Structure 1
């Protein structure tokens, strides 16, 4: 496999060794008030009840104190992943043997119930042995339609006859993306869910509106992902503690929310709940527009960067399966993942030189992505910035506004909207993330070499991508129907920015007019008063011709003179050629 030279300068490359030992994450400090603390338990959303103080008001869980101020992702919108009921505050630890066999994954669903049910199905005896994760006897009569294969995207999509293994991997990536892309029923369900909540917010506050940001506003969401919303009001006063409680009670009484949590005293106050109809998890923040700005920017990147959506979804699922996509436990947030993939594709030398088509080489690009950020990237010295619209590598020493990092070995990505903000500052579990990327590179390259030497008969039923990604959950169809149904979240986001740009333009025009009026009042240009000037009539003799110059409207051309000429209206006593003097 050809090595990627994206970070070619010596100061950009950090040599790593495969013998580096894993560092165990430090356990969070235990509270001194352990006697009064209740026994360790989890709520419906899977949050540890001991790391924060909780009170209950009308079946609404109120979180009065949040110690982790970096757990909230400004662009993903949530403190933790509500889909994973087993997530705690302790950073997940990767095990070498599980990573090598690709067994460190979780279910891609709203809860772990599907995963447990799938395990029960797998525990039952089957008619035929499963070959490489694929079963030929799928129980289609089961109501839940649980899968008995870890690689459902290869069912009826066999690419084992491809001569080039890289092409085989590219086709598998396309199949996987199509498999997890939303159907029209899922899009309609999400549109209806947001519509109900938006109507309720508009009814409760006349001057406020609900907007969607995050993965749903960019079409980069996985099945079962939550929806991140923000409430923007005209007065900008809806982020108070009383407002959060009032809205939470209102949604509960209207039957629009269950399992409500109010995080009031955090850096970013939010309300977390589950929609009772669709069972979709909703996170609502208040009076913050940076997520809306990021959604617009990401959509522009998607339009200008082929392959960005496909590789981003693969990496998101890869990290999600290993619980490394949770910012609250030091994982990579969605916007950080997008920035990594975007900078990788935009600065790839073979893409810049038009040597390869990204959409036809997704397999090679995925392998090189894991190689770059798993083995070659210099996390100690290099930051990534996209402030000018194009990504570049920036030495950390040149980033003057960079906040103090936990350690030199950390990921630093400059916020496109705020040059002083490091959007990946909460990803303190970088060592495990880097190990996972390096392990994925080794697994994919080994699989490619293995299948390259295998016969076509031995390739049947095998998967290349399945060596690093597995799927457990309810059965899905290969339906990428985003073009059939409008994603209203995207339309609302675009309308918000159009309206905002119009308001800014009008304010700019008004301020410009006011400035011009003031300038007109101060700098009044008046015509200077007319001064009486003496007529300058000079007689110049040149070959019998006299030139007469007038200071008013008439100019008398040079003509031969026999008598002096007087200019009417001038003072006659000052005229050297006054005929009355003769």
Structure 2
């Protein structure tokens, strides 16, 4: 799908352009592309009127591209942490910091990492913390003592996971999970990267949140169960936006074309990317050293030897739902069949994201 230039009002469809001298794509033949579109025709009927994220008081654009663009911003602001949620998580962090000081004194510092730090958390997201302290202290069983300190406070139930390297706390008042690691400087580096992209890459946070929500509602976002983790997804979004030819040529304004970027992201990673032969990096592609399984490989920006998707064994399923979402949205956006035209109040985004998911409760 071709993005909408700032001086154009009517979007046009076109396959995503190839990027750079190294072509990591396997673009579908036109006949196959059209055949799959026919398979997904009519899925727009699943659209719902006024899902929970849709601003009922705002103006509803008649143009379907503008409507989806507005919906993506509605979703972004709907899922943004409220003042109460932010205050609660800050309170939890202060409690943990006090417990760390009681256990280690001035020899330990506590850092918030993950989505809470980067302000890309969803309502059900865990709080992720890393404690920086003397390694020798941890080897003497101080992690267990920290768990005991928290348990005695009566605020959380604790479990030591992965051989004592991760401490899980379930907060008794809300049931929210806090995962605490020790001396996990890589998590700090990852958080700093996402903070940088959020500030400097236009439309990164909005597109990232939409995709996180999509994967969350498909139960495909947990690496422990073979899903696509948030940091790997963030690298994919940064890669996509950094290499988008129309953005780089300044021919489009990303914020005005968020809906088209979402559709093209699904097209790239759900259909066109040659995942067997390439490695996705923060700002480009590298050729794999040897042929492997067609699972996507995403390189960590801070550790070139680390494949962030090495445990994403559900990639075949994830790629399939990306492809499904691409054709569903294309059908909803460009179909001219009168019988499939949705009502003006219908949500296009609800064709791929279910607002009855527990995430929205």
Alignment of 1:97-136 (within 5 A): 132-134=47-49
Shift of 1:161: 3.9
Structure 1: stretches of 5+ with no match in the other structure: 20-96, 103-130, 135-148, 398-403, 478-582
Alignment of 1:204-243 (within 5 A): 204-206=103-105, 207-233=107-133, 235-240=134-139, 242-243=141-142
Aligned residue number for residue 441 of structure 1: 326
Please identify, of 434-443 and 239-248, the stretch whose mean Cα deviation from structure 2 is larger. Answer: 239-248
- Give the secondary-structure state (helix, strand or coil) at the position aligned to 1:237: helix
* Distance change (3 Å), C-alpha of 1:475 and 1:250: closer
Residues 1:4 and 2:4 aligned together: no
Aligned residue number for residue 323 of structure 1: 219
Provide the TM-score with structure 1 as the length reference.
0.54
Aligned residue number for residue 35 of structure 1: none
Residues 1:162 and 2:62 aligned together: yes
Q: 1: distance between equivalents of 2:140 and 2:260?
A: 50
Contact 2:114 2:127 in 1 (8 A): yes
Aligned residue number for residue 231 of structure 2: 335
Structure scoring higher RCO (CA < 8 A, sep ≥ 6) equals 2
Aligned residue number for residue 35 of structure 2: none
Aligned residue number for residue 461 of structure 1: 345
- Give the secondary-structure state (helix, strand or coil) at the position aligned to 1:284: strand
- The structure carrying a bigger helix percent of its residues is 2
Structure 2: stretches of 5+ with no match in the other structure: 1-12, 33-38
Q: 1: distance between equivalents of 2:299 and 2:346?
A: 41
Aligned residue number for residue 25 of structure 1: none
Matched positions, count: 339
- Give the secondary-structure state (helix, strand or coil) at the position aligned to 1:205: helix
Contact 1:257 1:273 in 2 (8 A): yes
Deviations 1:345-365 (Å, cap 9, x if unpaired)? 010000000000000100111
Aligned residue number for residue 246 of structure 1: 145
- Give the secondary-structure state (helix, strand or coil) at the position aligned to 1:380: coil
Aligned residue number for residue 284 of structure 1: 180
Alignment of 1:444-523 (within 5 A): 444-450=329-335, 454=338, 459-472=343-356
Deviations 1:415-447 (Å, cap 9, x if unpaired)? 211121112211121111110100000110111
Provide the TM-score with structure 2 as the length reference.
0.85
Provide the alpha-carbon RMSD of the alignment.
2.9
* Distance change (3 Å), C-alpha of 1:420 and 1:254: same
Aligned residue number for residue 394 of structure 1: 286
Q: 1: distance between equivalents of 2:159 and 2:359?
A: 31
Q: 2: distance between equivalents of 1:229 and 1:294?
A: 13
Q: 2: distance between equivalents of 1:312 and 1:286?
A: 27
Work out which of the two has the higher radius of gyration on C-alpha atoms and give 1 or 2: 1
Contact 1:381 1:396 in 2 (8 A): yes
Structure 2 counterpart of 1:190, from 77, 89, 95: 89
Q: 1: distance between equivalents of 2:197 and 2:342?
A: 41
* Distance change (3 Å), C-alpha of 1:257 and 1:363: same
Q: 2: distance between equivalents of 1:224 and 1:428?
A: 24
Deviations 1:144-197 (Å, cap 9, x if unpaired)? xxxxx7x2122515655423x221111110011111111111110110011111
Aligned residue number for residue 372 of structure 1: 268
Residues 1:296 and 2:192 aligned together: yes
* Distance change (3 Å), C-alpha of 1:297 and 1:132: closer
Residues 1:152 and 2:52 aligned together: yes
Q: 2: distance between equivalents of 1:458 and 1:11?
A: 38
Aligned residue number for residue 293 of structure 2: 408
Residues 1:312 and 2:208 aligned together: yes
* Distance change (3 Å), C-alpha of 1:310 and 1:238: farther
